[in-house]
Amino acid sequence: MNDTDDSSRDIPHATVDATGEHAFGEAPPSPGAPPMVVLAERKRFVERAQRLHQLAERLPAMADYLRFMAGVVEAQHRVAMQSRPSMIDSAEVAIQHGVPPLAVDGLWRDLSWNEDLDALIGELDARIGEPQRSWFEGLKSRPLAARRELVTAIFEGRALDAESMAMAPLVGAALQVAWTRQARMLPRPPGRPGETMRRFCPCCGSPAVASVIQIGMARSKVRYLHCGLCATEWYAERARCVECGDSKTLGYCGLEDDSGERVLPVNAETCDRCHSYLKVVQREWEAGADPVADDLASLALDMMIADRDLARRAFNPLLVLGEPAPG
């Protein structure tokens, strides 16, 4: 399927510092304009779990996987409610200086992900079946240093051995919990990223997992990029490559069933200039669509695109793609 996207709303652009020193700029306020940055919503994990159950019903071939991930996300919701020390003491200063207040580089050692991982393991222990037991027990007893090694590999997108690949989604789930909890505590959203940083989350600095065409009063038909790590959303112009900014060589493709019907509210926005793609999740087509859940459910789209030599730029902590590295 190929169709074109349209820029249906005129949004004031964030000011870009000509010196390039301040990568994250404040958008000029404009009455009635959609918010430039929206912090993680409270019900994010609950709604994502519901979405995964819905997708499991629709996609029988992926049902076991999607139901397992729904269980992980339900556990995330419970663990995210547990209180942890706040790491946002200097957030206001960071926001004022246009620096992501929860930058992964600076915080990854100190954030509560290891405690959250143990809590997730406790939540899931009873529902882990025999096929998953071996890696699950391996993760349980994995010392902190080895867990940290896995965390850096996930953030850097390094190839993993088969056992680490099996563990990675649960470790990624713990990272999501730790960052999302802190993002919810921020005193206010940071400004929208400046031009050169447009694809990076203004809260944590991670690349987006996908873009979302939003619904609802203030945000109807507006495109946002969604952070797979801390669930922040920030404004992005429609029909413009998130990676290189080009508008002329974009294409859109999605999954269809045998009768030519759309399978999921997801298109890949492909760019022939920088040879990359990012998925666009259309909440206009299905209000319950979720950028992380629908990314997992649309793996067939990544496979369809794989032979076109386009790089996947998305960061989804619940997903590890590729062949296991020898190890």
For Zn ion, the binding residue among 112, 232, 267, 282 (CB under 5 A) is: 232
Within residues 185-224, the interface with Zn ion by CB under 5 A covers 201, 203-204, 206
313 is a contact residue toward Zn ion (CB under 5 A): no
Tell me which residue of 179, 221, 224 sits closest to 203, measured CA to CA: 179
37 is a contact residue toward Zn ion (CB under 5 A): no
For Zn ion, the binding residue among 227, 266, 289, 293 (CB under 5 A) is: 227
Angle between helices 113-124 and 63-81 (to 10 degrees): 120
Tokens of 143: 């010392």
Number of residues that bind Zn ion (CB under 5 A): 15
Interface characters, 269-288, with Zn ion (x: CB under 5 A): --x-xx--------------
Tell me which residue of 218, 209, 135, 219 sits closest to 179, measured CA to CA: 209
Within residues 242-271, the interface with Zn ion by CB under 5 A covers 243-244, 246, 271
For Zn ion, the binding residue among 124, 230, 314, 320 (CB under 5 A) is: 230
Task: Supply the minimum distance, in Å, between the C-beta of residue 13 and Zn ion.
Answer: 18
Tell me which residue of 176, 234, 209, 200 sits closest to 289, measured CA to CA: 209
168 is a contact residue toward Zn ion (CB under 5 A): no
CB closer to Zn ion, 59 vs 201 = 201
Task: Supply the minimum distance, in Å, between the C-beta of residue 313 and Zn ion.
Answer: 9
CB closer to Zn ion, 108 vs 285 = 108
CB closer to Zn ion, 165 vs 227 = 227
Angstrom CA distances, 279 to 28, 120, 210, 290, stand at 28, 28, 5, 12
Three-state DSSP class for residue 87: coil
CA 8 – CA 221 distance, rounded (Å): 7
Rg, C-alpha atoms of the chain: 19
Q: Would you state the torsion angle of the CA atoms of residues 116, 120, 123, 129, taken in this order, to the nearest 10 degrees?
A: -160
Task: Supply the minimum distance, in Å, between the C-beta of residue 250 and Zn ion.
Answer: 8
311 is a contact residue toward Zn ion (CB under 5 A): no
Within residues 43-102, the interface with Zn ion by CB under 5 A covers none
CB closer to Zn ion, 33 vs 274 = 274
Q: Check if the beta carbon of residue 111 is closer than 8 Å to that of residue 178.
A: yes
Task: Supply the minimum distance, in Å, between the C-beta of residue 323 and Zn ion.
Answer: 26
Sign of CA dihedral 170, 175, 176, 182: positive
Residues that bind Zn ion (CB under 5 A): 201, 203-204, 206, 227, 229-230, 232, 241, 243-244, 246, 271, 273-274
